[in-house]
């Protein structure tokens, strides 16, 4: 293969680098002051020069971690450096006194036994490092606070007419001996760059043409504004947050089962599209459930849904695990994620010991954890607490059904208005009688009528057998056995005897627990027509995970009754949320582990009043007012309570209709079955509600169930030390005085103007996603171990712009992309290349490889096959077979059909233990924990993806077809069209002729081998249009693959 | 296989250019590597791109202990094969005979077994489960091995059996993560990633770190046990498969043949050269190389992965069956891979989690089945490596993620025999690569419940494996999120008693 002529330039480059390298001392030659000022020769800058030495070489043993501190010396603070060393009057640092400073004495010591750092901790300091320490002490040994913890300063305005970014970039470039910002990139490259950066997708040819046609001043700003309002904006920036939020469609850990949390992902996209101010964004994501109600139920639901941000923690449902262990892990993960994503601090270190570098002690770490330790979620298999989330289609269907039901009800009312009530017969009046009642729901020895018995979902016969222990007078029992660690149920779901029930009624269950094999938990569950199985009572450990603990859907009634004897336990209908319009339809006996015998379940209460003697509407109304237990819908009772005289005509008709259809003897006969339609609609509605996804969210525990938080030894949930209460680290600004001591208060503290880090972190991350490198390179760490900012004043200027725009992302981006710096060419022909190969000084644009999502989405877009569909459940695009092999989980990758095969990457189902393989090859993170930065790698495995991943082959198929369609008669022009779709520019003559030569050659070869041409078209998912030979289109597919594989397509232009 | 040509270097003697470029290892991208190759582009090798040595940062004043790309001292082993019995085999039935259990079989265990214990599944007061299998002394070393492993018994003189392993974790996923990444939580690099990051690979056309899975399932902790964590992703284990594409996306789509691909790549290379001239960006030339190397891998990988190229005698010896997915096939593949210079090969075999809740996870039916599937190929692997002169420089590790109880689990009154998870002691063995052959290290009490002599913690094992590879585990560190991380965290010591 011919080598590129670039060989020489690289040699030159290498020579230049070598020249620099040989002169390069061990510390930055051109130190960056934290204040952004060039450092005067001779003047030492603590942060740029001294801090790196002290913190990298000394502080891990002589720092904030009191437990690990050696020799009583602390060098991370000025105070510590001046303190008298134990056992003498020596001092580590004596300002201005080179001989008297023990620090210098020890680092210079020839004897390894005395020299610092000790040999096992690392090599001796270099002479350059020692020289810096000497100069520092000679000049007074002053400390300066870590730049990142200093308040954000007001930055002087640059000269008018100059974009502040360009001003600060050029200032720093000049200081580094570089020329100014390079010329702008060609316009096609510019629009492609902007479109990829802001929306994650390449521009369409129409967009390119429109921009090229706009030659009036302000064309760039107009393009920027158009691009910022693109409906693809939120998706692009959501993919940044998904990795921070460790979003996945599975729970993680062993079986890694599915989780429904995509509604949160959709909300995130909408939030970014709407460009919510970051303070509000923060409050919603961290504490949306704690925000006061707005009066708009849909808005309130969105806020609670936003709190699912911190339900993206992993849940462990491996058998034999302790829920508390993994609940604790999730709480600690919330601390780590919050501190990393908001403040760029690596808090996790302080789980086990005081942070070795940053001002965060163990106590302070767990005091942060205390904010997150008060939520209901507890590593449960059902992910409770959850909220229902209806999709747009489901909401539409629900609204339609409710309208239908109202219509059917109105029709029934209308029909009854034409019904003449016969004159009321003389009947004795008096108080309605509610007779005592004890009705068997399940009766010993009797199969409940019309019941269908299911044991763990299997249909079985209802088998009665003699009891183990007859002492309780029980003659027959149903025996149930639980599988260890799992929930077992015996239930009959569809008894046709629907029993009315009043709130005063009690249910009484009789059962026996095996003392040799006791269950952990027993539960009785009632099924009603409207609310399904959401009525439960539990005895024993709260370890059955359905419903919401402490509510009517899972009422805890205390410990298990004594083992080995017959027990009767009762509970009221009200406790489990049964109301008089409910019809009891089924019952289930449930347990976790052990063996239980069940004898009976009775409904105990009073007979509802006898309605038969009521023959007039007024008598009916009186009766409803006197007897709240009457078995009629609440709505009728409410109308009755208001009195006939006070009802509007329509309401009176409604009450009358209820009376006629449900009570009046003649009316009942006349309208028998007339409510069938209403009932059918009601059933469909109930079914709809059951199919609605439930999304895990945050919910604060009620005051009586608050947990205490302890410092945990090495983060181990069993090893509790001192108790802590919610508090923020002392080294930072105080907790807002008026804020509650909960997650909402913490959110406000994070976005407080006094917080030195949050805005710097957000701005720096945004910059990094645009330029490929942060102004602080370690976007994941702005603490003392992080990198020093390359442009400190620019960073603070950007923070000022961000704050001035209410911390919205779009104005910040607009500010960035309207600079000359952003528009500079990426070409590396300026002299800057040799001096600044890494483009630290930004005089040209960064030519970086596109991230995983963008590379794939772009291929689909260029091929014209990207689905524009936004939102919804995750999709399953093609992936090689056999990728998913996870223990205890038979889930398989069911390839999506239709457009769902070609959606944007952020909609791809994300399984933590087995993420989408091509994304992983392009450095995506597996999302088990928060990740703030991807380290870019380039490997041949990525080239294999570009060549052979079916997604890319199909994209080539799409591109081939579009080339053919765009210019059917001229292959050269068709290739140019395809090239332009991919790069936004026309190919050079040489480029075009190379592609033409390939096309011609392949066409000829394929024409002689039609079966191979057909095979390739099948791989590419296309068929040749009428009148076009397969070989023709197949050759175009090969050319299209080459276009999609161009290095230019891999990279940001 | 290529000879390693580089000698261990004193980091301070490295080229100043490399030091400049490697000042911040978090910043390492291919671009830096390219610039650091003095010989120009010809110096780039696939091995380096795939976890090879080119990525090794060196040192800065701030971090004097970064790896140098060469061993810290002379290695005893150049390559590692880990045979992981996922789910964890029962030591009482395979390598750690406890006749004292026999008279107590079926009786409630002593209270002392239960003090301060929590179990994954056992409830109430469990009963002793004596091993139903007999043991015999084998070989010149006289090491006792269960009747379930007749083939390995014949090779036991090659093995260094550690009866005193212990771990901190007693659930599968965290214990597997702990073994491979030094942490029970997700997100840390695995041992193989550390090894290839620190040492590179020896074959330029193959990944440096390969994973093979049998038993139909990936291990409990999923692919995280071969993840690269915060190390560059080129160092993650590449899962090779014995069905389908041996490496993901290595196969050409139907309709593309080698000649077509060659012509297309030639056109692409010329177009990319034009691009490189236009932009002056050396990364574009790297891209050309990546395509070239991918093209070569497309040929090389399927070749190495094709066990059909072995002689019938070898296939018979391993009990392999070409074209299927089996542990035996993977053992044979492991040999082919190390023979081709792959640094780290990790085999996972699912199905060892013998709780005894039914015949498919008990020690009467399932355990003998798993032993039959693995015994012969493992013995064949040891012999075969030895015959080829590879065993001396290849460390073979046989392990689970923890041990199993001396008691019958009897979950829900199950009548099938099985054992619960037990982190306090278990048995593994090492062979080849600089470990003492025919040796037993450590000892457990008469019931096999607690260690009585020479405990070996998981971190110690990690330190020892790195030591055998010529790496000081305290000096193989990577700066991430504000501190230096290493495989053994802040623990671990090399166990001298294991070394030959």
pLDDT in tens, A616-674: 888 888 878 777 666 677 788 889 888 888 999 989 998 998 888 877 878 878 887 77
Residues of A in contact with B68 (CB under 8 A): none
pLDDT digits (tens, 9 = 90+) for A26-82: 333 344 444 444 444 557 888 778 887 888 788 878 887 777 788 888 888 888 888
The b-or-e profile of A411-435 (16+ CB within 10 A means b, else e) is ebbeebeebeeeeeeeeeeeebebe
Q: What is the Cα–Cα distance from A684 to A398, expressed in whole angstroms?
A: 9
Q: What is the Cα–Cα distance from A662 to A982, expressed in whole angstroms?
A: 70
Residues of B in contact with A949 (CB under 8 A): 249
Cβ A337 vs Cβ A244: under 8 Å = yes
For testing the chain B interface, which of A944, A987, A1043, A1046 should be mutated: the one with the most B CBs within 10 Å? A944
How far does B234 lie from chain A, in Å, by closest CA?
7
Q: Is the CB of A252 less than 8 angstroms away from the CB of B186? A: yes
- Position A546 pLDDT exceeds 60: yes
Pairing of strands A709-712, A532-540: unpaired
Nearest CB neighbour to B411, from listed A484, A826, A885: A484
Residues of A in contact with B352 (CB under 8 A): none
Q: Is the CB of A129 less than 8 angstroms away from the CB of B61? A: yes
A767 Cβ partners below 8 Å, 6+ apart? Answer: A774, A775, A798, A816
Q: Encoding tokens for residue A938?
A: 């380039």
Cβ A509 vs Cβ A538: under 8 Å = no
pLDDT score at B227 = 82
Q: What is the Cα–Cα distance from A744 to A747, expressed in whole angstroms?
A: 5
Cβ A366 vs Cβ A709: under 8 Å = yes
Question: Rounded mean pLDDT of A495-508?
Answer: 68
pLDDT score at B47 = 34
Listed residue (B433, B51, B371, B12) closest to B237, CA to CA: B51
Question: Rounded mean pLDDT of B31-43?
Answer: 30
pLDDT score at A426 = 56
Terminal-residue alpha carbon distance, chain B:
25
Question: Which residue has tokens 């891990």?
Answer: A60
In chain A, the percentage of residues whose pLDDT exceeds 70 is 88
A213 Cβ partners below 8 Å, 6+ apart? Answer: none
B228 Cβ partners below 8 Å, 6+ apart? Answer: B189, B190, B193, B197, B234, B235, B236
Question: Rounded mean pLDDT of A92-116?
Answer: 85
Per-residue confidence at A422, pLDDT binned at 50, 70, 90?
Answer: confident
Residues of A in contact with B282 (CB under 8 A): 6, 10, 13
pLDDT score at B53 = 33
Q: What is the Cα–Cα distance from A429 to A418, expressed in whole angstroms?
A: 28
Terminal-residue alpha carbon distance, chain A:
26
Per-residue confidence at A931, pLDDT binned at 50, 70, 90?
Answer: confident
- Position A373 pLDDT exceeds 50: yes
Residues of B in contact with A3 (CB under 8 A): 41
For testing the chain A interface, which of B118, B287, B485 should be mutated: the one with the most A CBs within 10 Å? B287
Q: Is the CB of A346 less than 8 angstroms away from the CB of B35? A: no
Q: What is the Cα–Cα distance from A877 to A886, expressed in whole angstroms?
A: 19
Whether the bond between A955 and the residue before it is cis, its omega within 30 degrees of 0, is: no
Q: Output phi, psi for B231, to 5 deg.
A: -70, 160
Q: How many CB pairs under 8 A join A and B?
A: 324
In chain B, the percentage of residues whose pLDDT exceeds 90 is 54
Report chain A's mean pLDDT, rounded to a whole number.
85
Residues in chain A: 1053
In the stretch 863-882 of chain A, residues with CB closer than 8 A to chain B read 880-882
Question: Rounded mean pLDDT of A943-963?
Answer: 96
- Nearest chain B residue to A56 by CA: give it: B62
The b-or-e profile of A357-373 (16+ CB within 10 A means b, else e) is bbbbbbbbbbbbbbbbb
Per-residue confidence at A212, pLDDT binned at 50, 70, 90?
Answer: very high
In the stretch 915-934 of chain A, residues with CB closer than 8 A to chain B read 917-918, 920-921, 923, 926, 928-929
Listed residue (A864, A858, A1049) closest to A963, CA to CA: A864
Question: Which residue has tokens 């790195």?
Answer: B466
Q: Is the pTM of this model over 0.90?
A: no
Q: Is the CB of B483 less than 8 angstroms away from the CB of A356? A: yes
Q: Is residue A484 less than 8 Å (CB to CB) from chain B?
A: yes
Q: Is residue A319 less than 8 Å (CB to CB) from chain B?
A: yes
Report chain B's mean pLDDT, rounded to a whole number.
82
Pairing of strands A583-592, A487-492: antiparallel
Out of A264-273, B126-135, B144-153, B296-305, least confident range: B296-305
- Nearest chain B residue to A1010 by CA: give it: B255
For testing the chain B interface, which of A594, A935, A1006 should be mutated: the one with the most B CBs within 10 Å? A935
Q: Is the CB of B187 less than 8 angstroms away from the CB of A928? A: yes
Per-residue confidence at B359, pLDDT binned at 50, 70, 90?
Answer: confident
Pairing of strands B159-166, B456-457: parallel
In the stretch 244-303 of chain A, residues with CB closer than 8 A to chain B read 252-254, 256
Outline where A144-213 has alpha helix (H): 164-175, 187-199, 205-213
Q: What is the Cα–Cα distance from A853 to A244, expressed in whole angstroms?
A: 15
Strand partners, A459: A454
B226 Cβ partners below 8 Å, 6+ apart? Answer: B180, B190, B192, B193, B209, B211, B236, B237, B239, B346
pLDDT score at A849 = 93
Q: Is residue A68 less than 8 Å (CB to CB) from chain B?
A: no
Q: What is the Cα–Cα distance from A608 to A245, expressed in whole angstroms?
A: 54
B89 Cβ partners below 8 Å, 6+ apart? Answer: B352, B354, B367, B370, B400, B404
Residue B316: count other Cβ atoms within 10 Å of its Cβ: 12
Q: Is residue A1050 less than 8 Å (CB to CB) from chain B?
A: yes
pLDDT score at A441 = 72
pLDDT score at B90 = 97
Q: Output phi, psi for B317, to 5 deg.
A: -60, -40
- Position B55 pLDDT exceeds 60: no
- Position A189 pLDDT exceeds 60: yes
In the stretch 502-521 of chain A, residues with CB closer than 8 A to chain B read 517
- Nearest chain A residue to B273 by CA: give it: A4
Nearest CB neighbour to A1038, from listed B50, B251, B264: B264
Residues of A in contact with B221 (CB under 8 A): 254, 913
Residues of B in contact with A787 (CB under 8 A): 24
Q: Is the CB of B249 less than 8 angstroms away from the CB of A1045? A: no
Q: What is the 3 state secondary structure string of A410-423?
A: HHHHHHHHCCCCCC
Residue A159: count other Cβ atoms within 10 Å of its Cβ: 7
How far does B187 lie from chain A, in Å, by closest CA?
7
Residue B408: count other Cβ atoms within 10 Å of its Cβ: 24
Q: Is residue A847 less than 8 Å (CB to CB) from chain B?
A: yes
- Position A1030 pLDDT exceeds 70: yes
Whether the bond between B329 and the residue before it is cis, its omega within 30 degrees of 0, is: no
- Nearest chain A residue to B248 by CA: give it: A880
Nearest CB neighbour to B245, from listed A2, A880, A947: A880
Q: What is the Cα–Cα distance from B129 to A675, expressed in whole angstroms?
A: 66
Taking only Cα atoms into account, the Rg of chain A, rounded to an integer number of angstroms, comes to 36
pLDDT digits (tens, 9 = 90+) for A683-736: 888 788 878 888 999 999 988 889 999 999 877 888 889 999 999 999 899 999
Q: Is residue A23 less than 8 Å (CB to CB) from chain B?
A: no
pLDDT digits (tens, 9 = 90+) for A442-488: 777 766 655 566 666 666 666 778 888 878 888 888 888 877 666 77
Provide the angle, in degrees to the nearest 10, between the axes of the packed helices A649-662 and A392-417. Answer: 80
Q: Is the CB of A941 less than 8 angstroms away from the CB of B62? A: no
Residues of A in contact with B34 (CB under 8 A): 10
Q: What is the Cα–Cα distance from A615 to A622, expressed in whole angstroms?
A: 12
Out of A969-978, B52-61, B459-468, least confident range: B52-61
Nearest CB neighbour to B234, from listed A27, A128, A939: A939
Nearest CB neighbour to A885, from listed B217, B287, B481: B217
Q: What is the Cα–Cα distance from B240 to A241, expressed in whole angstroms?
A: 32
Alpha carbon distances (Å) from B359 to A743, A953, B85, B123: 50, 46, 18, 20
Out of B100-104, B116-120, B428-432, least confident range: B116-120
pLDDT score at A933 = 84
Q: What is the Cα–Cα distance from A190 to A196, expressed in whole angstroms?
A: 10
Q: What is the Cα–Cα distance from A805 to A799, expressed in whole angstroms?
A: 10
- Position A558 pLDDT exceeds 90: no
pLDDT score at B96 = 97
Q: Is the CB of A1018 less than 8 angstroms away from the CB of B187? A: no
Q: Is the CB of B279 less than 8 angstroms away from the CB of A828? A: yes
Residues of A in contact with B65 (CB under 8 A): 122-123
Alpha carbon distances (Å) from B48 to A202, A719, B241, B285: 32, 45, 22, 15
pLDDT score at B83 = 98
pLDDT score at A886 = 59
pLDDT score at A675 = 75
Out of A266-270, A352-356, A776-780, B24-28, least confident range: B24-28
Give the DSSP letter of residue A48: I
Q: Is residue A827 less than 8 Å (CB to CB) from chain B?
A: yes
Pairing of strands A487-492, A532-540: unpaired
Cβ A372 vs Cβ A707: under 8 Å = no
Q: Is residue A1012 less than 8 Å (CB to CB) from chain B?
A: yes
Residues of B in contact with A52 (CB under 8 A): 62
pLDDT score at A679 = 77
Higher pLDDT pick, A443 / A134: A134
Q: What is the Cα–Cα distance from B193 to B51, expressed in whole angstroms?
A: 8
Question: Rounded mean pLDDT of B161-175?
Answer: 91
Out of A144-153, A603-612, A907-916, B334-343, least confident range: A603-612
pLDDT score at A459 = 66
- Position B93 pLDDT exceeds 70: yes
- Position B135 pLDDT exceeds 80: yes
Q: Encoding tokens for residue A400?
A: 């339609």
Residues of A in contact with B411 (CB under 8 A): 484
Residues of B in contact with A1048 (CB under 8 A): 275
Q: Which long-range contacts (CB under 8 A, 24 or more apart) does A621-630 make?
A: A621/A655, A623/A432, A626/A431, A626/A432, A627/A432, A627/A434, A628/A502, A628/A580, A629/A434, A629/A502, A629/A503, A629/A504, A629/A580, A630/A432, A630/A580
Strand partners, A724: A709
Cβ A447 vs Cβ A495: under 8 Å = no
């Amino acid at each position: 293969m011919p080598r590129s002529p670039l060989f020489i330039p690289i040699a030159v480059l290498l020579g230049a680098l070598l020249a620099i390298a040989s002169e390069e001392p061990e510390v930055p030659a051109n130190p960056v002051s934290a204040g952004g000022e060039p450092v005067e020769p001779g003047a030492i800058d603590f942060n740029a020069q001294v801090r790196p030495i002290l913190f990298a070489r000394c502080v891990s043993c002589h720092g904030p971690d009191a437990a690990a501190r050696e020799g009583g010396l602390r060098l991370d603070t000025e105070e510590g450096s001046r303190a008298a060393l134990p056992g003498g009057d020596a001092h580590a640092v004596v300002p201005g006194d080179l001989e008297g400073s023990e620090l210098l004495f020890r680092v210079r010591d020839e004897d390894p036994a005395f020299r610092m750092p000790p040999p096992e901790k690392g090599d001796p300091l270099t002479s350059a490092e020692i020289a810096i320490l000497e100069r520092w002490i000679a000049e007074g040994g002053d400390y300066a606070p870590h730049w990142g913890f200093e308040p954000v300063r007001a930055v002087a305005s640059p000269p008018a007419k100059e974009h502040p970014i360009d001003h600060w970039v050029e200032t720093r470039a000049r200081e580094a001996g570089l020329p100014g910002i390079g010329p702008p990139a060609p316009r096609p490259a510019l629009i492609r760059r902007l479109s990829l950066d802001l929306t994650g997708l390449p521009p369409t040819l129409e967009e390119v043409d429109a921009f090229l046609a706009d030659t009036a001043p302000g064309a760039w700003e107009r393009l920027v504004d158009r691009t910022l309002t693109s409906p693809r904006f939120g998706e692009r920036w959501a993919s940044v947050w998904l990795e921070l939020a460790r979003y996945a469609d599975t729970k993680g850990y062993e079986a890694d089962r599915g989780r429904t949390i995509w509604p949160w992902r959709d909300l995130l996209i909408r939030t970014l599209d709407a460009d919510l101010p970051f303070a509000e964004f923060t409050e919603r994501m961290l504490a949306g459930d704690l925000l006061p109600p707005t009066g708009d139920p849909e808005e309130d639901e969105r806020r609670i849904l936003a709190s699912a941000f911190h339900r993206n923690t992993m849940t462990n449902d491996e058998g034999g695990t302790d829920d508390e262990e993994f609940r604790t892990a999730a709480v600690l993960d919330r601390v780590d994620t919050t501190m990393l994503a908001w403040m760029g601090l690596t808090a996790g270190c302080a789980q086990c010991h005081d942070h070795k570098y940053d001002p965060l002690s163990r106590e302070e770490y767990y005091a942060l954890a205390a904010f997150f330790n008060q939520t209901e979620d507890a590593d449960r298999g059902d992910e409770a607490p959850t909220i229902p989330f209806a999709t747009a289609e489901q909401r539409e269907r629900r609204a339609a059904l409710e309208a239908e039901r109202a219509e059917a009800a109105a029709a029934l009312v209308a029909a009854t208005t034409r019904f003449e009530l016969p004159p009321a017969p003389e009947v004795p009046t008096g108080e309605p009688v509610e007779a005592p009642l004890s009705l068997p729901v399940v009766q010993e020895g009797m199969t409940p009528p019309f019941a269908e018995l299911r044991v763990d979902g299997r249909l079985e016969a209802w088998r009665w057998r003699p009891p183990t222990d007859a002492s309780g007078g029980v003659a027959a029992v149903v025996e149930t056995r639980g599988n260890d660690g799992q929930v077992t149920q015996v239930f009959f779901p569809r008894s046709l005897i629907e029993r009315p029930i009043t709130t005063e009624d009690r249910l009484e269950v009789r059962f026996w627990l095996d003392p040799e094999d006791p269950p952990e938990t027993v539960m009785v569950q009632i099924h009603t027509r409207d609310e399904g199985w959401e009525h439960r009572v539990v005895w024993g450990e709260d370890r059955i995970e359905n419903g919401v603990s402490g509510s009517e859907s899972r009422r805890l009634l205390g410990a298990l009754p004594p083992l080995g004897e017959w027990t009767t336990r009762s509970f009221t209908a009200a406790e489990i949320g049964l109301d008089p319009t409910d019809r009891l339809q089924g019952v289930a006996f449930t347990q976790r582990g052990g063996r239980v015998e069940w004898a009976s379940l009775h409904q105990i209460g009073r007979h509802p009043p006898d309605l038969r003697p009521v023959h007039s509407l007024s008598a009916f109304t009186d009766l409803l007012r006197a007897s709240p237990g009457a078995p009629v819908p609440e709505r009728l009772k409410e109308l009755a309570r208001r009195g006939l005289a006070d009802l509007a005509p329509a309401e009176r008709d409604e009450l009358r209709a209820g009376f006629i259809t449900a009570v009046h003897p003649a009316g009942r006969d006349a309208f028998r079955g007339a409510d069938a339609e209403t009932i059918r609609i009601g059933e469909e509605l109930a079914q709809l509600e059951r199919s609605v996804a439930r999304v895990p969210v945050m919910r604060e525990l009620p005051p009586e169930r608050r947990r205490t938080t302890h410092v945990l030894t090495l983060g181990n949930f069993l090893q509790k030390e001192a108790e802590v209460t919610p508090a923020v680290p002392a080294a930072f600004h105080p907790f807002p005085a008026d804020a509650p001591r909960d997650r909402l208060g913490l959110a406000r503290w994070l976005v407080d103007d006094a917080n030195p880090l949050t805005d710097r972190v957000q701005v720096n991350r945004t910059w990094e996603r645009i330029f490929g490198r942060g102004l602080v390179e370690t976007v994941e760490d702005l603490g003392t171990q992080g990198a020093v900012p390359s442009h400190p004043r620019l960073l603070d200027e950007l923070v000022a712009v961000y704050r001035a725009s209410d911390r919205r992302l779009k104005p910040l981006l607009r500010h960035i992309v309207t600079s000359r710096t952003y528009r500079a060419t990426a070409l590396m022909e300026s002299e800057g290349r040799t001096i600044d190969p890494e483009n630290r000084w930004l005089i040209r644009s960064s030519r970086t490889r596109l991230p995983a999502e963008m590379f794939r989405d772009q291929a689909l877009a260029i091929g014209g096959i990207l689905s524009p569909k936004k939102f919804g459940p995750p999709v399953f695009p093609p992936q090689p077979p056999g990728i998913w092999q996870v223990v205890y989980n038979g889930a398989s990758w069911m390839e999506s059909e239709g457009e769902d095969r070609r959606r944007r990457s952020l909609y791809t189902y994300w399984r933590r233990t087995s993420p989408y393989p091509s994304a992983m090859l392009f450095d995506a993170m597996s999302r088990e924990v928060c990740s703030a930065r991807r380290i870019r790698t380039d490997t041949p495995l990525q080239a294999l993806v570009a060549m052979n991943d079916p997604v890319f082959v199909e994209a080539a198929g799409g591109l081939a077809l579009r080339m053919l369609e765009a210019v059917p008669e001229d292959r050269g022009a068709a290739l140019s069209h395809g090239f332009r779709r991919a790069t936004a520019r026309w190919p050079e003559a040489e480029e075009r002729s190379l592609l033409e030569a390939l096309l011609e050659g392949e066409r000829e070869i394929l024409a002689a081998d039609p079966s191979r041409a057909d095979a390739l078209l099948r791989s590419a998912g296309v068929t040749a249009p009428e009148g076009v030979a397969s070989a023709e289109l197949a050759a175009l597919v090969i050319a299209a693959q080459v276009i999609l594989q161009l290095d230019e397509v891999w990279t940001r232009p | 296989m290529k000879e390693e040509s580089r000698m261990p270097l004193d980091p301070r003697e490295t080229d100043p250019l490399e030091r400049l470029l490697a000042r911040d290892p978090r910043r390492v991208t291919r671009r830096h590597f390219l610039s650091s190759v003095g010989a120009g582009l010809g110096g780039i090798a696939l091995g380096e791109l795939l976890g090879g040595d080119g990525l090794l940062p060196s040192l800065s004043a701030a971090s004097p202990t970064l790896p140098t790309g060469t061993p810290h001292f002379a290695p005893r082993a150049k390559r590692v094969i880990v045979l992981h019995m996922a789910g964890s085999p029962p030591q009482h039935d395979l390598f750690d005979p406890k006749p004292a259990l026999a008279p107590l079989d079926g009786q409630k265990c002593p209270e002392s077994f239960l003090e301060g214990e929590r179990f994954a599944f056992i409830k109430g007061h469990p009963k002793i489960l004596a091993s139903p299998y007999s043991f015999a002394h084998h070989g010149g070393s006289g090491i006792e091995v269960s009747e379930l492993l007749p083939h390995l018994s014949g090779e036991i003189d090659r093995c260094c059996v550690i009866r005193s392993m212990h771990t901190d974790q007693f659930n599968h996923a965290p214990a597997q993560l702990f073994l491979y990444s030094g942490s029970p939580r997700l997100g840390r690099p695995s041992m193989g990633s550390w090894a290839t990051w620190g040492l590179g690979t020896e074959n330029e056309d193959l990944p440096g770190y390969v994973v093979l899975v049998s038993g139909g399932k990936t291990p409990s902790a999923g692919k995280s046990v071969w993840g690269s964590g915060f190390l560059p992703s080129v160092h993650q284990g590449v899962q090779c498969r014995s069905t389908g594409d041996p490496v993901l996306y290595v196969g050409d789509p139907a309709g593309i043949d080698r000649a077509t691909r060659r012509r297309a790549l030639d056109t692409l290379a010329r177009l990319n050269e034009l691009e490189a001239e236009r932009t002056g960006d050396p990364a574009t030339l790297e891209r050309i190389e990546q395509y070239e190397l991918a093209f070569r891998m497309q040929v090389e990988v399927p070749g190495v992965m094709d066990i059909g190229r072995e002689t019938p005698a070898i296939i018979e010896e391993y009990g392999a069956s070409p074209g299927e997915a089996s542990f035996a096939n993977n053992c044979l593949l492991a040999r082919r891979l190390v023979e081709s210079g792959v640094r780290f090969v990790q085999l996972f075999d699912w199905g060892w989690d013998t709780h005894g809740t039914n015949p498919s996870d008990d020690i009467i039916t399932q355990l003998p089945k798993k032993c039959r599937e693995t015994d012969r190929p493992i013995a064949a692997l040891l012999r075969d490596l030895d015959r080829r002169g590879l065993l001396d420089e290849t460390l073979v590790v046989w392990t689970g993620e923890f041990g199993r109880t001396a008691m019958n689990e009897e979950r829900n009154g199950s009548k099938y025999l099985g054992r619960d998870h037990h982190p306090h002691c278990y048995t593994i063995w090492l062979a080849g690569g600089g470990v003492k052959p025919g040796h037993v290290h450590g000892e457990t009490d008469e019931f096999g419940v607690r260690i009585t002599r020479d405990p070996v913690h998981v971190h110690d094992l990690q330190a020892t494996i790195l030591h055998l590879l010529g790496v000081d585990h305290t000096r193989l560190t990577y700066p991430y999120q504000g501190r230096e991380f290493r495989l053994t965290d802040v623990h671990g010591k090399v166990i001298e008693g294991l070394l030959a």
